[in-house]
Amino acid sequence: MTAAAASPSIGPRAEPLTRADLERFLACGIPETLIARAGIFRVNSTEGARIVGRRPGSGDYAGLVFPYFWPGEDRPFEYRLRRDRPEFEIGPDGKTREKAKYLSPPGARPRLYFVPGTRPEALTDVSLPIVITEGEKKCLALHALGDNGADRPRWLPVGIGGVWNWRGTVGIEAGPDGSRQPVKGTIKDFDRLQWRGRKVTIVFDANVRNNSSVQAARWELSRDLRRRGAVVHWWHWPKDTPAGINGIDDLIGAWGPEAVLGRWPECERLAPASLADCEHLFESLGPDHYRLSVPAACLSIDLDRIRWEHTDLLCECVVRCELPGIPNVRGVVAAGKLNLSSLTTRRSFAKELERRAPGLKELPWNQLIEEAALNAIETERAGAEMRLLDTYPEPREEDQFYRLHGWTLTASLPTILFAPGGLGKSFLALWAACELARQGVPVCYVDTEADWRTHRLRKAKLYGSTPHNVYYYRARRPLPEEADSLRRACAERGIRYIVVDSISLAGSGPLEESATAIAAFQALARIGVGGDMGALLIGHCPKDRDSIFGSVFWTNNARLTWHASRVDDGSEGYILKLKADKTNVTPTGQVVCFRITFGERVEIRPVDPSDIEEVAAELPLIDRIEAALRRGAKTSNELAEELDSKPDTIRKTLNRHLKKTGRFTVLSGGRYALREHGAGVGEEARDDD
């Protein structure tokens, strides 16, 4: 039987499967005879749009069509389209995913999928186990896996369109205001099977291990099947499942049918009898934030903003549950301040949760709140991990910094850029944020002075319409008060660098007071700076000063500070000179220059400091030597005369860097050269002058 012949209502517009289609099925252990029996066929975009009731041209609807047959019937009652090229969308987690990959006709309700040719008596034979899985292809793969060559297969595979597609609209009832409202429940197809005393195994995709919604769907389906009298089992994915495996069909393709059958007994286990028996996870989500979750119940208990007040451990407790039928506000069942040290307060909060979520009576709220509180107290008392310094991995030097055209920023510690007003610090900071984003670093621009319109216009002047992975956050309170919100927002988006513009307005008190500086750096630590996140802090100073504003603690707590000043060289725009004022990571006195040109567009480009007469004299000797050697090889005497130095000082400086950096070489006649400009292999420096 051909694919087209199995679907008489479709007519000649059905197309046979391609060889590539067949090979994808064969790779999952689905033989050609079963493919033909299933009646799968291919359609072009126009025919696919017609089948699922979409307007032709509104999308690409080419793909595979799976007919739905009820056991004992020879004509399909429904079709489902698997599109070859669905659109993509960005989900709430920021990840790109396929959108509407599977489509049904408008108004179609979720239905169960059975392999065509399934005997009607299999629906009521309780001695025949049932295996429930996601989708038609996985159902076919399980059918082939369960075919032992005898009259009676190992199991009856049943497919659902998605993990929640066993639920749907089952009726219409009048609402409180008299309007007709849909009633959600288990689809009617379930009533046509005999479940009591029957073994049922739920085989969901591999993301059931870490996707709370999939875990909740499995739990709710298990509860419904138990109410029908089924003996429910769960398929547990083996720990050695290869990376990239999604469904059971993929695993069969990777391991082969015999290997999967051999591992089946260890993976198939009785499902937990109650939510109390389901897995609980306690984890630290960063400074002052813990979470206890019960994935099967789509439940999480967040203990955030934890702090000690005298002998009490206080927190903000937020309980979320997204199971159907549980009253909540945007997923939140309850939220409020909680004294974790008080047994009375914990019990009272648990009773309130019991009252608010009567649909979760089987959930031991008192036990869960106790578990979350005691874990948090124990963790807080234990403090940070103590271990031998030598047991930490040795970091690579290049991973400690970001380099932006010669400008060094610390990758996981605070850097400060300070200057008088009107020098373009904010333009430079926004440029730095975009340049970091171009290097693949997710950046957040924390603004305390202006608004998003200002920075959006600045970015357009710098880059036009070119997009960058730079987030914007308007801080309206001092940084210590914004820290918790910023930490959460940065963690959700994977931010690895923040720009604070400016720290002057982000301080929680007078800048000259040490407490203000200390509080700001403590807030940065809570946000994540000092871990996997770095920060550039923009600050102001008076025009007649070249030292940082306020307390000395600003300088002392930063790992690197740059003082910016303006140099007018008679050209269009001006030079912004950055000098390393205090540093633990780069040579003190290092100078980096950028030319800033204002016009219809703002251009920021690096300039060699040695090319600027006013700046060149300030450069470290080795930098001035390098600039001179760019113009050609020279002896130490020639360099000393040109740089107004002593030949012995020149030789000592170059000998030191010959061994340390390998940037220089010695040519015949004792002439020094840059290795990139010189010829031959460098020799030990000698005085031939």
Mean pLDDT computed over 251-273: 93
Q: Which two tokens stand for residue 446?
A: 């924390």
Q: Which residue has the higher pLDDT, 637 or 235?
A: 235
pLDDT band, residue 460 (cuts 50/70/90): very high
* 365 HSE (CA, 13 A, CB side): 21
Whole-number Cα distances in Å, 554 to 307, 345, 416, 429 = 25, 41, 9, 19
Statement: residue 687 has pLDDT above 70: no
Q: Which two tokens stand for residue 416?
A: 């400060």
Which pLDDT does position 12 carry in this prediction? 43
Statement: residue 431 has pLDDT above 90: yes
Q: What are phi and psi of 640, to 5 degrees?
A: -65, -40
Q: What is the mean pLDDT of the chain?
A: 85
* CA–CA separation, 166 and 188 (whole Å): 9
* CA–CA separation, 683 and 654 (whole Å): 12
Q: Which two tokens stand for residue 666?
A: 């010695």
pLDDT digits (tens, 9 = 90+) for 141-150: 999 999 877 7
Which pLDDT does position 2 carry in this prediction? 37
Q: Which residue has the higher pLDDT, 186 or 643?
A: 186
* CA–CA separation, 536 and 557 (whole Å): 13
Which pLDDT does position 331 carry in this prediction? 84
Q: Which residues contact 587 (CB under 8 A, 6 or more apart)?
A: 580, 620
CA 101 to chain centre: 23
Q: Which residue has the higher pLDDT, 390 or 67?
A: 67
Mean pLDDT computed over 470-491: 90
pLDDT band, residue 291 (cuts 50/70/90): very high
Rg of the chain over all Cα atoms, to the nearest angstrom: 34
pLDDT digits (tens, 9 = 90+) for 50-72: 999 998 888 899 999 999 999 99
* CA–CA separation, 468 and 179 (whole Å): 48
Residue 230: strand, helix, or coil: coil
- Of the listed ranges 7-16, 218-227, 470-479, the least confidently predicted one is 7-16
645 sits in which H/E element: none
CA dihedral 151→112→4→122, nearest 10 degrees, is 20
Q: Which residues contact 161 (CB under 8 A, 6 or more apart)?
A: 80, 102, 104, 110, 111, 113, 134, 135
CA 377 to chain centre: 29
* CA–CA separation, 39 and 29 (whole Å): 17
Closest-CA residue to 552 (of 515, 501, 500): 515
pLDDT band, residue 568 (cuts 50/70/90): confident
Closest-CA residue to 196 (of 98, 285, 126, 120): 126
Mean pLDDT computed over 494-523: 89
Q: Give strand ranges (E) for 411-458.
A: 414-419, 443-447
Mean pLDDT computed over 344-353: 93
Mean pLDDT computed over 598-618: 81
Statement: residue 578 has pLDDT above 60: yes
Closest-CA residue to 662 (of 648, 683, 643, 633): 683
Count CB-CB contacts under 10 A for residue 291.
18
pLDDT band, residue 599 (cuts 50/70/90): confident
- Residues of the chain with pLDDT > 90, as a percent, come to 44
Which pLDDT does position 570 carry in this prediction? 66
Statement: residue 3 has pLDDT above 50: no
Which pLDDT does position 94 carry in this prediction? 63
Which pLDDT does position 1 carry in this prediction? 35
CA 477 to chain centre: 27
**Which residue has tokens 């050209």?**
571
Statement: residue 302 has pLDDT above 70: yes
- Of the listed ranges 15-29, 129-143, 283-297, the least confidently predicted one is 283-297
* CA–CA separation, 566 and 687 (whole Å): 41
pTM given for the model: 0.58
Q: Which two tokens stand for residue 343?
A: 């047994």
pLDDT band, residue 556 (cuts 50/70/90): confident
Which pLDDT does position 349 carry in this prediction? 94
Q: Which residue has the higher pLDDT, 156 or 626?
A: 156
The residue type at 571: S
pLDDT band, residue 684 (cuts 50/70/90): very low
Q: Which two tokens stand for residue 5?
A: 């012949």
Which pLDDT does position 84 carry in this prediction? 93
* CA–CA separation, 391 and 384 (whole Å): 16
CA angle 688, 625, 672 (to 5 degrees): 30
**Which residue has tokens 């599977």?**
102
Helix axes of 425-438 and 452-463: crossing angle, nearest 10 degrees:
70
CA angle 120, 122, 127 (to 5 degrees): 155
Mean pLDDT computed over 481-492: 88
Which pLDDT does position 215 carry in this prediction? 87
* CA–CA separation, 229 and 133 (whole Å): 19
pLDDT digits (tens, 9 = 90+) for 156-215: 999 999 999 999 887 778 777 777 888 888 999 999 999 999 999 999 999 998 888 888
Mean pLDDT computed over 277-301: 85
